[in-house]
């Protein structure tokens, strides 16, 4: 059974940092792309970053470049999303998801087959 479990969210002040984790199980980790998405209240879910586990290639949404860093611990089948300089507009539920495609359209929700339950990030001003 494919499982993706996010953790690491919380309430932080603007300017702070968080590291989100996505623990994966039930599939061959190295064969997939893992994406991070977020959904703010009243807004559509949007892609923020992805990483190809096999070769480490990554990409970011323009809105988060320079503040978000995606990485992996392949020995632990875990993907991390480090977030610096948090802003109130980063407040959202953050999800990780599994992508079996080539990553060309990594920001498209339709590319992903399995999703975690999400972790809440709340940034106070």
- Region 19-47 average pLDDT: 96
pLDDT of residue 117: 98
pLDDT of residue 120: 98
CA 93 – CA 118 distance, rounded (Å)? 6
CA distance between the termini of the chain: 40
CA 125 – CA 123 distance, rounded (Å)? 7
- Region 13-35 average pLDDT: 96
pLDDT of residue 50: 97
pLDDT of residue 14: 98
pLDDT of residue 103: 83
pLDDT at 102 over 90: no
pLDDT of residue 89: 95
The mean pLDDT value of the chain amounts to 96
pLDDT of residue 104: 86
- The answer to whether the beta carbons of residues 99 and 83 sit under 8 Å apart is no
- The answer to whether the beta carbons of residues 5 and 116 sit under 8 Å apart is yes
Q: What is the pLDDT of residues 49-89, one digit of tens each?
A: 999 999 999 999 999 999 999 999 999 999 999 999 999 99
């Amino acid at each position: 059974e494919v499982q993706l479990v996010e953790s690491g969210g919380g309430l932080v002040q603007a300017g702070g940092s968080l590291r989100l984790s996505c623990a994966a199980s039930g599939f061959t980790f190295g064969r997939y792309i893992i994406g991070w998405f977020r959904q703010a209240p009243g807004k559509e879910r949007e892609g923020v970053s992805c990483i190809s586990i096999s070769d480490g290639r990554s990409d970011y949404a323009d809105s988060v470049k320079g503040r978000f860093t995606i990485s992996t611990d392949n020995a632990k089948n875990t993907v991390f999303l480090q977030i610096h300089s948090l802003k109130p507009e980063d407040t959202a539920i953050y999800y990780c998801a599994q992508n079996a495609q080539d990553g060309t359209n990594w920001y498209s929700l339709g590319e992903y087959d399995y999703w975690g339950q999400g972790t809440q990030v709340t940034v106070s001003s």
